[in-house]
């Protein structure tokens, strides 16, 4: 009768693993009908049942055909990936707890990344509300809305060679109701509406000195349920909706516009605006115009891309630094937890690893087994962490202080970040335990007590 051993055919005389009732770590050895009495056979032939997933006994189809269902069973090897999965499945509690630790780290990394990116894009959208080539604001202001640009600077920017139009706008936020806690107000002169990219789709523009006239973006009008002729109360002031406009930009269309002079008076910011929307003449170099404006106004900075937003908002720089620090901390915590778990697993399975070395497993194969188990846990943790990040991010978006500002978007790069982070945690955490397992001496390991 032929038999197929799982591993290399190795004679083990001194260790004699086929002795009846012998246990090695998590492996329970029982004598097999296929094992000769001499003890010279392969150690694998005695593994009828193995908690470690070393081998499993299955019916040999060819033997069933010859001898029927009562024929002896022969050992059949497990593919290496299935062996890793089987080992993880036999330790469900530890696998789940370790994967949860990885998931928490991945969740923190993804949530911070999505929230930071969303807030950056929201703030940058405020600067890009007007239809302009770039925006000018105060350099290094604590917050974008705290930027202060004087009317004199607006005139100086407008006179810069290559500038077609320079529109000063005063931007602030107010609480309209529970659903609109950060409602955007834009103060602008009626003569600057067209250069700013405003198209009145219903009603008329407000007059330059009106104190109670307001225009709503078409999206804001829909959200608030307002139309031309209705009234809107903001900060105890009743405004008459005289027009509905569109700027073809999300934040602009969900905002409101008021006469610049009236808004400067109500906000006590006479003679100042928040930003300047600059349009460059056809054929002029945008980069050259930007450099000329910054050279003539040292306390101002130009912003064209969202990545440049930190030049006019120090909070964004602090936010990016906090994100980087929190990400590093999350990775370190994940590595420590997973490494601790893998070390405990190594100690519990030290006799099992010794047996594998005794029956012919190479150090590289044993190293691959431990690292493979860690990577399996990490991939599972990455999947769970992405789900946690989805739930947490959308929960944060519903908070009143972030509603309207936090608009989370999960791009493909986010999922790659989760996978890379989880794999990094698994590889670093498994490196030391796997090296210890690979360098075990079989004789010493098999003499270890539980």
pLDDT in tens, 71-129: 444 444 567 788 888 888 888 888 888 888 888 888 888 888 887 777 777 666 666 66
Q: Higher-confidence residue: 64 or 77?
A: 77
Question: Mean pLDDT highest for which of 28-32, 72-76, 361-365, 442-446?
Answer: 361-365
- Least Cα distance to 251 among 117, 136, 402, 126 occurs for 126
Q: How many angstroms separate the CA atoms of 64 and 73, rounded?
A: 9
244: β partners: 202, 216
Q: How many angstroms separate the CA atoms of 107 and 96, rounded?
A: 16
Q: Lowest mean pLDDT of 53-67, 320-334, 380-394, name the range.
A: 53-67
User: Is 258 within 8 Å of 243 (Cβ atoms)?
Assistant: no
Mean pLDDT score of the chain: 77
Average pLDDT over residues 174-195: 85
Would you state the pLDDT for residue 227?
Answer: 92
Q: Quick one: which H or E segment has residue 135? A: strand 134-138
pLDDT in tens, 147-159: 899 999 999 999 9
185: β partners: 172, 256
Q: Higher-confidence residue: 366 or 244?
A: 244
Would you state the pLDDT for residue 286?
Answer: 92
Q: List b or e across 255-286, with b for residues whose CB sees 16 or more CB atoms inside 10 angstroms.
A: bbbbbbbbbbebeeeeebbbbbbbbbeeeeee
User: Is 135 within 8 Å of 302 (Cβ atoms)?
Assistant: yes
Question: Mean pLDDT highest for which of 3-17, 27-41, 164-178, 310-324?
Answer: 164-178
Average pLDDT over residues 335-351: 83
pLDDT in tens, 252-276: 888 899 999 999 998 889 899 999 9
Residue 441 has pLDDT above 90, yes or no: no
- pTM, rounded to two decimals: 0.57
Percent of the chain with pLDDT strictly greater than 90? 20
Would you state the pLDDT for residue 215?
Answer: 95
Cβ count near 201 (within 10 Å): 12
Q: What angle is formed at CA 258 by the lines to CA 150 and CA 120, rounded to 5 degrees?
A: 70
Q: How many angstroms separate the CA atoms of 215 and 262, rounded?
A: 14
Q: List b or e across 222-239, with b for residues whose CB sees 16 or more CB atoms inside 10 angstroms.
A: ebbebeeeeebebeeeeb
Q: How many angstroms separate the CA atoms of 203 and 219, rounded?
A: 15
């Amino acid at each position: 009768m032929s038999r197929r051993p799982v591993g290399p055919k190795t004679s083990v005389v001194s260790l004699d693993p086929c002795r009846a009732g012998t246990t090695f770590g998590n492996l329970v050895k029982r004598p097999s009908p296929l094992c000769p009495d001499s003890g010279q056979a392969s150690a694998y032939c005695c593994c009828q049942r193995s908690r470690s997933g070393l081998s499993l006994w299955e019916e040999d189809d060819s033997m069933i055909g010859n001898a029927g269902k009562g024929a002896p069973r022969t050992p059949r090897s497990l593919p290496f990936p299935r062996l890793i999965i089987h080992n993880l499945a036999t330790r469900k509690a530890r696998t789940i707890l370790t994967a949860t630790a990885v998931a928490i780290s991945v969740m923190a990394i993804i949530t911070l990344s999505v929230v930071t990116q969303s807030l950056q894009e929201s703030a940058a959208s405020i600067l890009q509300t007007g239809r302009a080539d770039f925006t000018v604001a105060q350099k290094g202001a604590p917050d974008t809305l705290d930027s202060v640009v004087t009317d004199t600077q607006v005139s100086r920017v407008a006179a810069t060679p290559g500038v077609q139009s320079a529109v000063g706008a005063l931007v602030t936020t107010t609480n309209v109701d529970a659903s609109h806690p950060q409602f955007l107000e834009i103060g602008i002169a009626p003569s600057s509406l067209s250069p700013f990219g405003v198209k009145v789709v219903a009603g008329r523009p407000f007059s330059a000195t009106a104190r109670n006239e307001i225009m709503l973006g078409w999206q804001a009008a829909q959200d608030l349920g307002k139309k031309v002729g209705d009234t809107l109360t903001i900060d105890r002031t009743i405004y008459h909706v005289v027009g509905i406009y569109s700027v073809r930009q999300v934040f602009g269309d969900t905002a409101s516009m008021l006469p610049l002079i009236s808004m400067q008076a109500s906000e006590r910011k006479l003679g100042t605006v928040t930003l300047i929307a600059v349009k460059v003449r056809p054929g002029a170099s945008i980069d050259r115009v930007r450099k000329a404006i910054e050279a003539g106004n040292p306390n101002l900075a130009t912003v064209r891309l969202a990545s440049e937003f930190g030049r006019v908002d120090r909070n964004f720089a602090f936010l990016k630094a906090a994100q980087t620090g929190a990400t590093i901390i999350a990775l370190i915590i994940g590595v420590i937890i997973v490494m601790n778990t893998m070390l405990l697993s190594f100690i519990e399975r030290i006799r099992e690893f010794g047996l594998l070395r005794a029956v012919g497993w190479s150090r590289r194969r044993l190293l691959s087994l431990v690292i493979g188990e860690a990577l399996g846990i990490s991939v599972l943790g990455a999947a769970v962490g992405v789900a946690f990040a989805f739930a947490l991010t959308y929960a944060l978006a519903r908070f009143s202080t972030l509603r309207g500002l936090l608009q989370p978007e999960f791009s493909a790069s986010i999922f790659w970040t989760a996978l890379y982070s989880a794999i990094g945690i698994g590889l670093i955490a498994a490196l030391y335990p796997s090296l210890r397992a690979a360098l075990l001496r079989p004789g010493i390991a098999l003499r270890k007590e539980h």
